[in-house]
Structure 1
């Protein structure tokens, strides 16, 4: 394979605009469309003599409003009954209906007087077909393989709908890549510097993502992400549209909000006004064949959207909290998406991060497609290996006391996922270290440790009051993705490529060894379970001694503390102690310490 020309492309399929990049002559190139533009409006217009996509289609949004479709990405993966899209549907100039299963259908009137219905996937497929044709014309050959980006907070249904759209036009999706990760890849490709923590602030036309990633010379690791699938430039447009509708009614005495022609006209001027206000202090709104005009100041636009702008900052702060990082620990902030050009957004970020950390060297419109193309080339350079169709060795986590909880058993089909919920076993536990493991044995020490996730500074609470959720997924690209979540508090992610985790020649030996030692492992698990109970009792004992119960004298506290320290030291050198020895020490704590403080 020619390392200078990989036969792949990266596509940023956006709500408002899309972008496609390829690897050509040893470097990434953004593909210009047939109008010479590097980004393409995500718009499809059905005409009497054919279908237009992109810039040409966007010019038909007012004159052909019933048959011109935009903002389709917001409809992907939704039912028409979903609350989250109802406000969008109320302002669309084209007609959206439902089939018998409440699936969304877009109604198009043909020149023959017939009515046709298209799913959001079919509309998205038309945009993908157009982008593919532009890329193929640019490189001079057919391209079948693609990496398509999606918002980090896209649901499984939305991701599936995106893949379906690609398949409809014969594209082979190498991977759906989260947009913030793609932006980080583009940044890393240019920088290649020391290990850094970066924040990706991705504010596009329809969605907002905030992600914290750790970037080093050889790896890009997603630490955590947060976002809102219904927060972006289109929402800013809608706030301005509603205001202009109000002003129109105030001036003209006529409510035109339910008029689809006026919806299309208002949408067009609101978007144009928003763009102008990024470089000018005011913008004059006016319409053909109407004497209605209104001057919109940047202050007014920012005030209308103040709550939405502040919501993005709240999500950023929540993301940093989940990553357990302060804003001072962020080395660079990468701005992605056209909406990041709004001056108020840049000021809000500048108030929270040093302005020198705001990365200005990456094109906000092109970064995601660039990263997708780089990753597509990487996958292509790996010869798109035929990964196993099932999990070769069991995958799981260590919970407590070195005991492994298998989450995805050996032989599970790929892709597979599993979810585990548990509670903290001891009082006032402020940190937890998770070991992510591969193997068939029951104890941590006899398996392959793939990664660790450390949760620190946890809120202090009693045993079993705090729930922790672990989701483990093996995707079609043979990556193991482990997410550890304490709702509204901490969210951490580990992403590991399994292809390099173990020598395939070793797998039969590891399986055989696990079978031969199954009885021994069962006995060891029983011992370690008792040791784990003893460990919890020691922790609980220390917590009780620190509570300074008035019934406890200083001498007695010292005596009990010495006992607990002695037991802890014994545990360190007797990891595989007999069950009876563990139970004997459990009873010692229960008999001497617990009854006194519980009176």
Structure 2
């Protein structure tokens, strides 16, 4: 049986497995066995759907071609992408196309049947984002898809050979579009999350856009118009920004100089390492602030940390190691940086093998909540507020029960709105309304026990019971069910018949 670890990334996605030599290995592209990363970009047109390098190649020839990039940042949002036939694709469906491409690569490379997969998500993902990722796996036809947080996957990979005994680990995970900071305790019997924090839309995409801004400003100074208003020029700017970033992350490279032809006019652009560092300084400072907030939540500081693990492609930014070394008062070579592009996928494969195999030597993975969970209620002043039921950084699975009473006789149903918050002083995210049918002729102040819970994957459930009889009340509607709604059922049919590069 084959078990995959899948890093469904903002800019690149990878699939990994345990090979015959009992080593982690990446799945290569079906048409290029030297290529192990799939760009997370999708193009749906009259010739079908293409994913990854096939799209990038087409964009080289025709930069104005419609395509979808960075869909991971839209997961859980009420957003649609419109194709050439005016069909609306949800983020889950676009992500499913990326996942299906990885599965097709796998089936062409390995003879075994896929029996399960661990798909990674940022630790900072909300319930809506996690539910959307689960639905993407369902749309892609992945059996037994389980979610795991990216920092836990990375720590699992690092811990395989490099860490032994009781150690306090800090994972600094700066990817293409998201940042996670996670504090863990490693022991011989497993990994235990102590605290986690993060920031959405912070990563390599942010760096690329800062470089694009610099080039666009210089172009506008010379030619009087903003090249980002043209779709072809925008693709060219992004390609150059990504290339420049990667070049300046290489040891010994002090500058990048290039003459760009944009909208049939040229701009000479020079970006030095010092200028580059100034561009990314704010990003790195934001990330370190999140790290220190995470440490504070566990009542710790950097002195308590035995190893700092850097993962995610953007952790290769030279300023990351420089600033972290300064802030933590340790040498730069004391920061562990090992295969940052692959670490999450490798760790996910190791976890998949642990979860799905029959091995008796399984290690614990004690995860934690990354959001407070509660119910919107009326405060004493009559204004809406959140009654927190499960705090942030609590071990999962976790649940809490609160008794509510009906407010009028013959009330037919009880409606609760479930919300998540990063902290009590931040805006909450509504997870939707849960509606429970009440018995006929229910008296005023009829008691109902409402239980909110996080399962092992950090997914939310809500149940209601009669506290006297223990009978569970029928749930009329659940905004968070994993089953596909009618729109996604239609999109599954499109996915099954539209992917070309398979």
TM-score (norm 2): 0.70
Structure having the larger proportion of residues in strand:
2
Instruction: Give the drift of 1:44.
Output: 1.5
The structure 1 segments of at least 4 consecutive aligned residues displaced by more than 6 Å after TM superposition are 472-475, 482-486
- Relative to structure 1, the CA distance from residue 306 to residue 138 in structure 2 (aligned partners, 3 Å threshold; closer, same or farther) is same
* CA positional deviation for 1:69: 1.6
Q: Structure 1: give runs of 5+ residues left out of the alignment.
A: 1-5, 80-103, 385-416, 422-466, 489-494, 498-514, 516-599
- Aligned equivalent of 1:299: 274
Which 5+ residue runs of structure 2 have no aligned equivalent? 361-371, 377-386, 401-420, 426-453, 457-467, 469-502
Residue in structure 1 matched with residue 223 of structure 2 by the alignment: 252
User: Matches of 2:133 and 2:110 in 1, distance apart?
Assistant: 25
Check the 8 A contact 2:80/2:88 in 1, yes or no.
yes
8 Å contact from structure 2 (residues 172, 182) kept in 1: yes
The alignment partner of 1:287 has SS state of strand
Partner of 1:55: 53
Partner secondary structure for residue 363 of structure 1:
coil
Query: Tell me, what secondary structure is at the counterpart of 2:228?
Result: coil
1:41 corresponds to which residue? 39
Bigger Rg over Cα: 1
Asked whether the 8 Å contact 2:63–2:231 carries over to 1, the reply is no
Seen in structure 2, the aligned counterparts of structure 1 residues 220 and 70 have a Cα distance that, compared at 3 Å, is same
Alpha-carbon distance between aligned partners in 1 of 2:158 and 2:2, rounded to the nearest angstrom: 22
Equivalent residue for 2:23, pick from 21, 27, 36? 27
1:18 aligned partner = 13
Deviations 1:467-493 (A, max 9, x none): 986349999xxx6247999868xxxxx
Task: Report matched runs for 1:279-298 at 5 Å.
Answer: 279=250, 280-288=253-261, 289-298=264-273
- How many angstroms apart in 2 are the aligned matches of 1:473 and 1:320? 11
CA displacement at 1:170 relative to structure 2: 1.0
Tell me if the contact between 2:116 and 2:143 (Cα under 8 Å) persists in the aligned partners: yes
Structure richer in helix, relative to its length: 1
Which residue number in structure 2 is paired with residue 363 of structure 1? 339
1:159 aligns with 2:157: no
Whether the 8 Å CA contact 2:195–2:393 is kept in 1: the answer is no
C-alpha distance in 2, partners of 1:373/1:381?
12
Matched position secondary structure for 1:141: coil
Asked if the contact 1:77–1:157 (Cα under 8 Å) also holds between the matched residues in 2, the reply is yes
1:554 corresponds in structure 2 to none
Contact 1:166 1:173 in 2 (8 A): no
CA distance in 2: counterparts of 1:58 and 1:271, whole angstroms? 13
Cα distance in 2 for residues equivalent to 1:75 and 1:135: 26
Q: Does 1:241 align with 2:212?
A: yes
Kindly tell me the number of residue pairs found equivalent between the two proteins: 380
- Higher RCO (CA 8 Å, separation ≥ 6 residues): 2
The answer on whether the counterparts of 1:66 and 1:108 sit within 8 Å (CA) in structure 2 is no
Q: Following TM superposition, by how much is the alpha carbon of 1:48 offset from its aligned partner in structure 2, in angstroms?
A: 4.3
User: What whole-Å deviation, never above 9, does each CA across 1:336-373 have from its counterpart, x for those lacking one?
Assistant: 1110111111111111231253113x210111111111
> Is 2:321 the counterpart of 1:326?
no
Q: 1:380 aligns with which of 318, 342, 356?
A: 356
Q: State TM-score, norm by structure 1.
A: 0.59
SS at match of 1:9: strand
**In structure 2, what is the equivalent of residue 72 of structure 1?**
71
1:131 match: 102
Contact kept in structure 1, 2:168 and 2:183, CA below 8 Å: yes
1:169 aligns with 2:140: yes
Structure 1 residues 212, 418: CA separation in 2 closer, same or farther (over 3 Å shift)?
closer
1:148 Cα offset (Å): 0.3
